[in-house]
Structure 1
Amino acid sequence: MDRRHVLGLLGAAPIAYATTGFESVRAESDYPTQPIKALVGFAAGSGADILARFYSKKLSDLCGRPVLIENRPGATSNIALSLAANAKPDGYTIVYSANSNMAGNPFMFKDLSFDVEKDFTPLALLSQTTFFLVVAPNSPFNTVEQLTKHLLGQQEKNKYGYTNQTAHIGTEYYMSLTGIKAVPVAYRTAVDAMGDLANGGIDFMIIDGTFGSGQVKAGKLKPLAVTAVTRHPTFPNVPTMAEAGVKDFEFTSWWAAWAPKDTPREIVDKLEGWFGKIMAQDETRAFLEPNAGTPLKGGSKEAREKQRVEIQKWKRATEAAGIKPL
């Protein structure tokens, strides 16, 4: 190999590297140039799915590309989160996930295949959802106090339903504060639980407001309390759990959008900006409030800070409820 050939190779290397770097920068500045996949860890038709489809339509309108929902239910959203954590960090895979998963799952499962802090880049806060403590519409109980008294009187016979982490831990927390015992029954979606609640297969449940609000309005569920610290403006006559006599109870679900770790900053900034615009729209508030939701403001930094506070909250709640990771 002659000297001219060696020098040619040495000179070509940085040019190739610079071209690769240029292509990467151009791809980020042109983003998005193809559809974006949005993972959801719950089934189609669930409260989470309803929220995700609303946000994705809005995001598609702003970014100019389709945002395609991929429902990957199962393992308390761990399947969807694992797929997101291992996706290429190019902005074409995002995941909508709640605090129950991004803060609660480490206290529910011993061997997660991902780290909720290290393996994800937060994009933006989205919304907070109030949950309801509900019974069947023909139930003789009209207050939390009446339900609690009944449940305390037949401890070993009680059953409650749940469809997600917030409902599960929230119910266990309620039980720990009141001394109730009940057997948990897991359902894939809230729709699946409706029949058992109506026919007495389960005694009560804490249900997410995105789905539950419509059932309450239609008279298909009787709400005894909301789980937030304040009453919801759409349901001003429904007391909080604290007002209903369960002191120190406050448990809500909040949602954020996430991307895999190492997603380029320019792409994160674009997504953060688009989601910020979505949450500031009057149409978003008009969509959320009738469904027991409230818009949240905050980008990547605020979402990370809120997640870290929430992790400590879930740690306290699971310890109080005596829940050990499986």
Structure 2
Amino acid sequence: MSFFGSSSRRRLVHGLVHSAVVIAVACLSPALTHAADATFPNRPITLVVPFPAGSGTDAITRIVATELIGVLGQPVIVENKAGGNATIGAQYVARAKPDGYTLLVATNTPLSAAPWLMKSVPYDAIKDFTPVARGGNLPFMLVINPKLPVQSVQDLVALAKKSPGKMNYASGNSTGIVAGATLGSRAGIDVVHVPYKGTPQAMTDVIGGQVDFMFTDFASGAPFVKSGQMRALSVSSAARSALAPDLSSMLEGGVKDFDLVSWNGYVGPAGMPADVVAKLNAAFVHVLSKPEVKARLADLGFDAFSGSQPEFAKFVADQLVLWGELIKGAGIQPE
């Protein structure tokens, strides 16, 4: 399935990518930004997680934060500001002083999906942030209440088709929302969406049987799958994941054109000094390249990797367009 088949979409992608590069350059131009502190950092840095404590992003961030302390020589504080489909935390960072001491642990939820899922968001996903560094990918899996007489994606689809509008799915973030709606659209099933403020609350109700299924990140869901409180049917991607090679892909489950992966990265407010961004980017790249850190994060179901700041800026712009196409394709209307 091509998301950029028309010339108008190609122009939109080119425009967004060009804008992201221009904005990234402007954000990093010393002549246009606040003067950087040569001693940066000389006080604690805060990583704002726009999800609740106990979420996959929260668990991953706490490992990364601990490692950053040794690289930057300052305390790194993890602060949870959940709610509003992750827009509350994103808005908080967008309005913070662009000095490098307040960063958002960004994902596709606030920067790629929320602008399409909501009629309005209190920030511009491109113009109001300085991309700093990529963090990696957080694969998702389809999980169900184990009491359901279901062993595969095909079984789930068949059961839903027997009772249109009777089965429901939970979501704790934008990936969960879009994945559930995309499954309904691609598989031709009528299922009811039950939104939650965060993943932990959503999983609690799947485990309790109040909700039938959901898409959750590996980090949050793996412990409950291992304990038998939830059953995993598939990863949310078209191909199997190296992090869970025993789980079938959506394509193997009979659902075509289904390939959703949540991304993770770090952004600050627009207008950050170039040397501060460079120092932070180098710190994240160093931490996320350490074999022992990658292994610890892989145990949580997180594929850690990073790269240059310009690469990440282009990626953020590309993802905004991609998720817009996914959301429209799933028939989701902004609320």
TM-score (normalizing by structure 1): 0.89
The equivalent position to 2:101 in structure 1, one of 92, 98, 105, is 92
2:235 pairs with 1:221: no
* Equivalent position to 1:198, from 189, 204, 207: 207
User: In terms of Rg, which structure is larger?
Assistant: 1
Q: 1:54 aligns with which of 63, 71, 82?
A: 63
- 1:116 paired to 2:125: yes
Are residue 71 (structure 1) and residue 80 (structure 2) matched? yes
- Corresponding residue to 1:173 among 165, 169, 182: 182
Equivalent residue letter for 1:30: T
Q: Kindly report which structure 2 residues correspond to 1:134-149, keeping only aligned pairs within 5 A, or say none.
A: 134-149=143-158
SS at structure 1 position matched to 2:37: helix
Distance across 2 between alignment mates of 1:172 and 1:261: 33
- Residues 90, 25 of structure 1: alpha-carbon distance in 2 compared, 3 angstrom cutoff: closer
Give the distance between the partners of 1:139 and 1:324, measured in 2 at CA: 30
Partner of 2:21: none
| Identity value in percent | 32
* Distance in structure 2 (CA, Å) of the matches to 1:231 and 1:284: 23
C-alpha deviation, 1:275, in angstroms: 0.3
CA shift in 2, pair 1:51/1:220, >3 Å:
same
Provide closer, same or farther for how the CA distance between residues 245 and 61 of structure 1 changes in structure 2, counting only shifts above 3 A: same
Matches within 5 A, 1:126-141: 126-141=135-150
- Per the alignment, in what secondary structure is the counterpart of residue 103 of structure 1? helix
How far, CA to CA, are the matches of 2:213 and 2:278 in structure 1? 43
Aligned to 1:235: 244
Return the offset for 1:148: 0.3
Amino acid at match of 1:224: L
Partner of 2:321: 312
Structure 2 SS opposite 1:256: strand
The residue correspondences of 1:235-254 to structure 2 (distance < 5 A) are: 235-254=244-263
Give the conservation status (yes or no) of the 8 Å contact 2:44–2:101: yes
Q: Which moved more, 1:283-292 or 1:29-38?
A: 283-292
- Alignment-mate amino acid for residue 128 of structure 2: D
In the TM superposition, residue 233 of structure 1 has moved relative to its aligned partner by 2.6
Over residues 277-318 of structure 1, what are the superposed CA-to-partner deviations in whole Å (9 max), with x where a residue is unaligned? 011101221112222221223121111111122112111111
Q: Is 2:56 the counterpart of 1:44? A: no
CA RMSD of aligned residues (A): 1.7
> Offset of 1:192 from its aligned partner?
2.1
Question: What is residue 157 of structure 1 aligned with on the other side?
Answer: 166
Distance 2:120 2:199 in 1: 27
Instruction: Give, in angstroms, the shift of residue 242 of structure 1.
Output: 1.0
Give the distance between the partners of 1:202 and 1:63, measured in 2 at CA.
44
Deviation at 1:216, TM superposition (A): 1.7
Distance 1:144 1:286 in 2: 29
Q: Does the 8 Å contact 1:96/1:255 carry over to 2?
A: yes
* Runs of 4+, deviation exceeding 3 Å: 24-27
Distance 2:292 2:256 in 1: 35
- Name the structure 1 match of 2:110: 101
- What displacement does 1:69 show? 1.2
CA contact (8 A) 1:72 1:79 kept: yes
Who is 1:301 aligned against? Answer: 310
SS in 2 for 1:155: coil
8 A contact 1:214–1:291 mirrored in 2: no
Deviation at 1:106, TM superposition (A): 1.1
Q: Which region of structure 1 is more displaced relative to structure 2, 155-164 or 297-306?
A: 297-306
Secondary structure at 1:271 match in 2: helix
Deviations 1:36-59 (A, max 9, x none): 111111111111111111111111
Question: 1:181 offset after TM fit, Å?
Answer: 1.5
Per the TM alignment, residue 259 of structure 1 is displaced from its structure 2 partner at its CA by 0.7
Structure 1 residues 111 and 193, CA gap change in structure 2 (3 angstroms): closer
Distance 2:124 2:87 in 1: 11
Residues 1:265 and 2:307 are matched in the alignment: no
User: Can you give the 5+ residue segments of structure 1 that lack an aligned partner in the other structure?
Assistant: 1-20
Q: Structure 1 CA distance, aligned partners of 2:166 and 2:146?
A: 20
Report the CA distance between 1:27 and its aligned residue: 5.2
TM-score w.r.t. the length of structure 2 is 0.87
Residues in 2 aligned to 1:90 and 1:149: alpha-carbon distance in whole angstroms: 54
> Which segment is superposed worse, 172-181 or 134-143?
134-143
The amino acid that maps onto 2:301 is A
Q: Is the Cα–Cα contact under 8 Å of residues 121 and 300 in structure 1 kept in the other structure?
A: no
